[in-house]
Amino acid sequence: MDRRKFLTYMGCGCCGLFLNSCSTAPITDRKQLNIIPEAKLNAQAAQIYEKIKEKEKLSKDTKTLNEIKDIGKKMEDSISEYFFQSNLPDPTNNFDWEYILIENKKVKNAWCMQVVKLQFIPVF
């Protein structure tokens, strides 16, 4: 087999793999490439999230945590309002949101996890 045929076959084979891996994101309807199944990613994210909650010291700064919860609530309301105004079913309807704040002087981070579908969403 000559080089040109080999590259043609490899290119077509790779394109076939990529096209089969393409899907639509559930909320945004944008196209995305799924090399690893979403269910596996969600399960891994949930495990990591639970380990972090166990391992890291949670902040007792209620003022900052309440600010994070307020921001999260605004995001939740905005998403629901978007789907309502677009006359679309709201995929976040049954989400059980949890907001935590980690006590870490090196890293400032807040975590938000949607428990129903186990999607991990970091909030920075």
pTM, full prediction: 0.58
Cα distances from 16 to residues 13, 32, 101, in angstroms, run 5, 15, 43
Nearest-angstrom CA–CA distance, 49 and 94: 20
Q: What is the model's pLDDT at position 116?
A: 45
What percent helix, strand, coil does the chain show, rounded to 5?
A: 50, 20, 30
What average pLDDT score do residues 45-64 get? 87
Strand 22-24 relative to strand 110-114, pairing:
unpaired
pLDDT in tens, 69-109: 999 899 999 989 988 998 988 878 877 788 888 887 777 66
What's the DSSP call for residue 20? Answer: H
Torsion 36-37-42-43 (CA) sign:
negative
DSSP of 54-111: HHSPBP--HHHHHHHHHHHHHHHHHHHHHHHHTT---TTTT--EEEEEB--SS---EE
What average pLDDT score do residues 10-38 get? 62
